[in-house]
Amino acid sequence: MNLRLRSATVALLCGSALLATATASTEPERFADEVAERHDLDAGHLRTVLAAAEHDERVLERIASPAEGLPWHDYREIFLTEERLEAGLGYWAEHQDLLAEIHDEHRVPEPVILAILGVESYYGTRRGDHRVLDALTTLGFSDHPRAGFFRDELEAFLLLSAENEWDATEPTGSYAGALGKPQFIPSSYRAYAVDQDGDGRRDLLDNPADAAGSAAHYLARHGWEPDAPVARAVEAEGSAWRDALAATDRPVAPRQSVDELAGLGVEVPDELDGDTPAALIELEGEDGTELWLTLQNFYVLTRYNHSALYAMAVHQLAEALAREHAE
């Protein structure tokens, strides 16, 4: 390569690198301006907030290998522990009147509310160690397949911070940007959080009443059926039932009737009416596969977190809490 051609190539490469750097550095600024225009906010302030965000490599590592990717028996061991059960019973004793009030208002059982808080944040004591701002900017301005979703959540977080007069650089949460005792993503916080104690604020970070009430409200708004079952372990004959298995990495909607599943060889419980909508999932148990008939309330739990493993952990922790509390 002659000297003139090499110099031109170097200049071109340097120019491309500078352009890429400039594009990367201005993308959050453009985002700040767009959010400010859409919501009549101070663009300069939003630019300053986003400029304070730091890339968090741990976020990318954790989202690439979530606990929900484990086999069910390993996932279960994380959440179904004696320590978590005892902590839940203690939390129940401390907030018994509050939880009863929330049950009366939202018609979601106390053990289910507790199990949500127990799985999500160990009853509010483990709420994540990532700055929410860092997590959402890291994911939102990356090549992650759901980068658009996380930019939307970043926008919701900036609005949430403005509405609550937060310093947006301070709240911490999960690697996916969920925050508070019930671990709501920012858009869910804005849509479903409630002021349970009537103090004029919806505080999911430090207020036990608002946190528990909001978890119950979320389930109720997504179709929780009072006094209805969640899931039942079943067995099946033959192999026709395999065609009915639902995926476990997305909300498990009950799309078939109990009678239809029975016709495929599933041995359904007598307590369920034949026209009850249901789904069928298979999980990896420690001693082999487990077959579960899941119902509307299980579907609602998978709306909170799209993993069937998560929903099953909440369901089984709730059942354990109810048993122990009754003794």
Provide the residue-wise pLDDT of the chain in tens; the chain has 327 residues: 443 434 444 443 444 444 344 444 589 999 999 999 999 999 999 999 999 999 999 999 999 999 999 999 999 999 999 999 999 999 999 999 999 999 999 999 999 999 999 999 999 999 999 999 999 999 999 999 999 999 999 999 999 999 999 999 999 999 999 999 999 999 999 999 999 999 999 999 999 999 999 999 999 999 999 999 999 999 999 999 999 999 999 999 999 999 999 999 999 999 999 999 999 999 999 999 999 999 999 999 999 999 999 999 999 999 999 999 998
CB 237 within 8 A of CB 267: yes
Is the CATH code 1.10.530.10 the one for domain 231-307?
Answer: yes
Looking only at the bridges linking them, the beta strands covering 266-267 and 288-294 are unpaired
Q: What is the DSSP string of 104-160?
A: HHH---HHHHHHHHHHHHTTTT---SEEHHHHHHHHHTSS-TTHHHHHHHHHHHHHH
Residue 285: what are its φ and ψ, rounded to 5°?
A: -85, 170
> How much is the pLDDT for 327?
87
Q: What is the pLDDT of residue 26?
A: 84
pLDDT score for 25: 55
Catalytic-residue membership of 77:
no
Q: What distance in Å separates the CA atoms of residue 150 and residue 134, rounded to the nearest whole number?
A: 11
Where do the domains of the chain lie? 25-54+129-173, 231-307
Q: 25-54+129-173 belongs to which homologous superfamily?
A: Bacterial muramidase (1.10.8.350)
Q: Compute the half-sphere exposure of residue 182: CA atoms within 13 Å on the CB side of its CA.
A: 31
Is the CB of residue 279 less than 8 Å from the CB of residue 259?
no
Catalytic residue among 27, 37, 61, 120: 120
Give the pLDDT of residue 8: 41
Alpha carbon distance 148, 229 (integer Å): 36
Give the position of tokens 């639902």. Answer: 246
